[in-house]
Amino acid sequence: MEVKRKILLNPGPATTTDSVKMAQVVSDICPREQEFAELVEFITEELTVFVGDPKDYVTVLFGGSGTAVVESMISSAVTGPLLVINNGAYGKRMCQIAEIYNLNYVEYKHSPVKELDLDHLKKYIMDSKLKFSHLAMVHHETTTGMLNDLEGVGKICQALGIELIVDGVSSYAAVPIDMKKMNISFLASTSNKNIQGMPGCGFVIAKKNSLDRLKDSKARNLYLSLYDQHSFFQQKKQLRFTPPVQTFYALKQAIIETKREGVEARYLRYSKSWQTLVKGLAELGLELLLPENCQGKLITTIIEPANDNYSFEKMHDYLYDKDITIYPGKLFEQNTFRVANIGAIDFRDIEIFLKELKSYLVSIGHIR
Ligand SMILES: *Cc1c(COP(=O)(O)O)cnc(C)c1O
Q: Does the beta carbon of 225 sit less than 6 angstroms from any atom of ligand 1? A: no
Q: What is the pLDDT of residues 277-312, one digit of tens each?
A: 999 999 999 999 999 999 999 999 999 999 999 999
Contact status, residue 30 vs residue 250, Cβ threshold 8 Å? no
Work out the angle at residue 23's Cα, subtended by the Cα atoms of residues 22 and 26, and round it to the nearest 5 degrees. Answer: 100
Q: At what angle do helices 347-363 and 263-283 cross, to 10 degrees?
A: 20
Q: Tell me the β-bridge partners of 108.
A: 85
Q: Does the beta carbon of 300 sit less than 6 angstroms from any atom of ligand 1? A: no
| Centre of ligand 1 from the C-alpha of residue 68, in Å | 9
Q: What is the pLDDT of residues 31-43, one digit of tens each?
A: 999 999 999 999 9
Q: What is the pLDDT of residues 126-149, one digit of tens each?
A: 999 999 999 999 999 999 999 999
Grade residue 332 by pLDDT with cuts at 50, 70 and 90: low
Cα–Cα distance for residue pair 290/299, rounded to 1 Å: 11
| Centre of ligand 1 from the C-alpha of residue 338, in Å | 15
pTM for the structure as a whole: 0.97
| CB < 8 Å & 24+ apart, contacts of 159-162 | 159/122, 160/122, 160/125, 160/126, 160/132, 162/83, 162/125, 162/132, 162/133, 162/134, 162/135
Contact status, residue 125 vs residue 132, Cβ threshold 8 Å? yes
Collapsing DSSP to helix, strand or coil, 211 comes out as helix
Q: For ligand 1, pick from 175, 190, 193 the residue to mutate: most ligand atoms within 8 Å of CB.
A: 190
What pLDDT shows up at residue 262?
Answer: 98
- The values of phi and psi at residue 206, to 5°, are -125, 145
Q: Tell me the β-bridge partners of 61.
A: 203
Q: What is the pLDDT of residues 108-123, one digit of tens each?
A: 999 999 999 999 999 9
Q: Does the beta carbon of 142 sit less than 6 angstroms from any atom of ligand 1? A: yes
Contact status, residue 145 vs residue 338, Cβ threshold 8 Å? yes
Mean pLDDT of the chain: 97
Q: Tell me the β-bridge partners of 303.
A: 336
| Centre of ligand 1 from the C-alpha of residue 66, in Å | 5
Ligand 1 atom with the smallest distance to the CA of 142 is 15
Cα–Cα distance for residue pair 6/28, rounded to 1 Å: 28
